Amino acid sequence: MENTQIKTGPKDVFLHLLAIIALYVSAGSFIALLFQYINVYLPDKAVDQYYSLQSAYASMRWSIALLFVIYPVYVWASWFLNKEYKMEQQKREIKIRKWLLYFTLFATALLIIGDLVALIYSFLQGELTARFLYKILAVFLVAAIIFKYYLMDLKNSVPYKIFAYAVSALVALAVIGGFFVAGSPQEARLRQFDDMRVRNLQEIQSQVVYYWQYKENKLPIFLDDLKNDIDAFIPPKDPETGQSYEYKVTGASSFTLCANFALPSLPDQTSRYAPMPAKPYGIDSGIAQNWEHLAGHICFDRTIDPDFYKLPEKTR
């Protein structure tokens, strides 16, 4: 009779799997979101800051999207299951629930153990930086909360409302903070346009140098002079407005490229809020170019180094 009362049906399997999978995805997304906060506010000096920030913001938006959808699913599935348990206490003993709860405890216990091992190892190696320490603490915090909750759940002693409100508040704060750090969807769209403008200017700049090389040190007068049917090159235009970029010859081997930017460029590690002036093209082995910019109409002055960019003499 007891086995009949706690028999597992398809609905029970579906709801328990849905709840546990939503839990794992939500926990992973929350940890990833915390990691990106750490990456933004404690940047790694050994990596390029522009691409590091772009990657962090993209990961933030992905984590926020997952939490927006998956976490409410977890809350709903947990609420529905708890409602079922109140109506039929025997359902707490079904096998699918016990297996999933014990597996979750097992997984979080391994996570906490591994987290502590990594912490001690880094300390002994002398590599315990603040950046790494905060990430260790983030994983430990999430794993400990999950472990505590489901351990109490097995004993039927969980204050569900307190846990639900507290965890939901933490998730909400992390998500709202992500909007302020990574920027609004409109800002992300504008930054995509700005990135395209920089790439277009870089492409135009390269074509100007090629033109100068093969036209015996003569710069093009207009951007349309760069059109090449063989290479199928057509000077790109502003991706948002469709207008041509501004180009002006300022000397025998110098020129200016201008564009209208919607936002300031992402900050550099050494100059977090004040963009640095553009460096002449060709200095420092011809590759040290600076495309940092403020919002508005910004021009980049470039000077071609004849010694670096001269073509090799033909072999006789």
Domain boundaries, the chain: 2-183, 187-309
pLDDT at 179: 86
pLDDT at 271: 39
pLDDT at 277: 37
pLDDT at 144: 92
Q: Please, are residues 97 and 91 in contact by the beta-carbon 8 Å criterion?
A: yes
How wide is the angle at C-alpha 40 spanned by C-alphas 34 and 41, nearest 5°?
90
pLDDT at 282: 41
DSSP-based three-state secondary structure for 174: helix
pLDDT at 186: 87
- The rounded Cα 164 to chain-centroid distance in angstroms is 28
Q: Please, are residues 13 and 96 in contact by the beta-carbon 8 Å criterion?
A: yes
Could you list the beta-strand ranges (E) of the chain.
246-249, 254-261, 296-303
CA-based nearest residue to 144, from 156, 152, 154:
152
pLDDT at 116: 87
- A 10 A CB-CB count for 166 gives 12
List per-residue pLDDT tens for the chain, 316 residues long.
344 456 777 888 898 999 999 999 999 999 999 999 998 888 776 666 667 777 888 899 999 999 999 999 999 999 998 888 888 888 888 888 889 999 999 999 998 998 889 888 887 877 678 888 899 999 999 999 999 999 988 888 788 888 889 999 999 999 999 888 888 888 888 988 998 999 999 999 989 988 888 887 889 999 998 887 777 788 999 999 999 999 999 988 899 999 999 998 876 533 333 333 344 344 344 434 678 888 999 999 998 888 777 766 654 4
Tokens of 303: 């000077």
